[in-house]
Structure 1
Amino acid sequence: MSIAVEKRSIKEALKEKWQYMTGGIYMPKALLETKGELLVHISDTPLMSYAAISHLLKRLNPKWIIHTGDLVDNIKLELSFSKIDLYRKHLVKLTRMLEMSNSEVYISLGNHDHYDSIMALNTPFHICKKAETLKLGTFTIAYSHYIELLNDYEANIYLFGHNKYKKTEVNNDGKIYLNGLEQITVMDITNKQYFFLRYPIGTDDSRMLRMRIGI
């Protein structure tokens, strides 16, 4: 199993840069034209990224969304629990956005999430505290906020977030590890294609990514 990196023309590269600089998420033509069933992987999402992600979901209409934790990542709840009310306020915005997508939503909680606050919203989402697996077609997908928790799971694809030093890679066994901090990944499950999309400008600053190793 391998990941094919799409080659883009100069024109497409300029479009992507313009979209990024104006706070959007560039979606290549090949992605917009795909007819397969889509899965979107996101992670460590600050409030300022919600509008762009919402637009992405409306355009793509994915069948599945996997969020690997830190749902309101501009609020470091583990470090400052006094901000729990603000966290809950922003959390409502995110859950409403995800519900409007009409996708099956799977969430693995991060270190800056609050389980009771999420469960109190009574969403139809699949919520796990540590790690889970999901079978989609010929793929077995393991997902967690922490890559270390995926070691005990047998899967083709491993989705995680949290640590900026654990890069997206294909290991020697052909297993694919996708870090949701690095990019939004859209998987065409039907045609076994991968699209890597850049988060909008300012996302890392809002995550305070430059200040911490594990966010």
Structure 2
Amino acid sequence: MEKHWWSPLYGILFGVYVPEELRRLKGKVILHISDTPFTFYGSIARLIRLLDPLWIIHTGDLADNVKLEIAPWELPRYVRSVTQLSRILRSEKKCRLALVMGNHDHPATVRSLFPDSLLFEGKGRVKACGFDLNLSHDMPGFLTPFGRYNLFGHDPNVSDPLEEKVFFLNGIAAVNIIAVDTGRVYSLPYPEYVNDARLGKRKRGL
């Protein structure tokens, strides 16, 4: 989607900018996010209210402000963050959830907080609203053959490969939305503060 000059200020005040075209699709979308620091949770709640998604796909690192792989003693802080996120993601009972475990996630904690959700250890496939979605925490982990929609995260430096009629959607680069009626993909920029919150990961390891 087009980025406006006022987007940074809007991001600070309100989070992700959702254009009117997308708001008209409320209740008819799949929402994809990835590598979410706790500072972004309020914006996720707002996205859910605005879009009322049928599915939410999270491709890993649910509390990206806590780097469990390199700091396992931070588990209590991770649990607090993911508990908050679970309340947000599970607030709409009709919305289905599919969660891919990232390298900084704690599967046992996630299973306990998301008992009714689909959980995948690093990769998997799910059929959502008639679409076959190929999910992975990172680009190299995809199951093959690729699907039409391949959703991942983890590395912001991985560009989406150009494949005819095939989508590779990097959820750390943008919030991705699939319109279920048309299959069209919309990619919305994250606010700058989200990327700032991820900088610790860039310094200490993905």
Q: TM-score normalised to the size of structure 2?
A: 0.90
Structure 1 position 143 matched with structure 2 position 135: yes
Identity fraction in percent: 28
Q: 1:214 to 1:148 in 2, by over 3 A?
A: farther
Match of 2:197 in 1: 206
1:44-193 matches, cutoff 5 A: 44-102=35-93, 103-137=95-129, 139-171=131-163, 173-193=164-184
Q: Contact 2:12 / 2:193 at 8 angstroms: preserved in 1?
A: no
Give the 4+ runs in structure 1 shifted more than 3 A.
14-18
CA contact (8 A) 1:43 1:160 kept: yes
Q: 1:201 to 1:7 in 2, by over 3 A?
A: closer
Q: Distance in 2 between matches of 1:85 and 1:126?
A: 23
Distance 1:15 1:29 in 2: 16
| Range with greater deviation from structure 2 (96-105 or 202-211) | 202-211
Aligned to 1:29: 20
Q: What do the CA deviations read for 1:102-143 (whole angstroms, capped 9, x no partner)?
A: 310000000000011112225311111021112235532101
Aligned length: 205
CA-based RMSD of the aligned residues comes to: 2.1
Tell me the distance in 1 between the aligned counterparts of 2:200 and 2:133: 26
Shift of 1:150: 0.8
Unaligned runs of 5+ in 2: none
- Give the secondary structure class of the aligned counterpart of 2:88: helix
Distance 2:114 2:176 in 1: 27
Equivalent residue letter for 2:90 = E
Give the Å deviation of 1:36: 6.6
Segment drifting more, 15-24 vs 34-43: 15-24
- 1:124 counterpart letter in structure 2: D
What is the CA-CA distance between 1:15 and the residue it aligns to?
Answer: 5.1
* Counterparts of 1:57 and 1:122, CA distance in 2: 17
Task: Report the CA distance between 1:73 and its aligned residue.
Answer: 0.2
SS for the counterpart of 2:116 is: coil
Name the amino acid aligned to 1:130.
G
Whichever residue aligns with residue 61 of structure 1, its letter is D
| Contact kept? 1:107, 1:128, Cα under 8 Å | yes
Measure the CA separation in 1 of the matches of 2:172 and 2:147: 20
My pick for the range that moved more, 110-119 or 120-129, is 120-129
Distance 1:87 1:97 in 2: 16
Question: TM-score, length-normalised on structure 1?
Answer: 0.87
> Secondary structure of the equivalent of 1:41?
strand
Pairwise CA distance, 1:186: 0.9
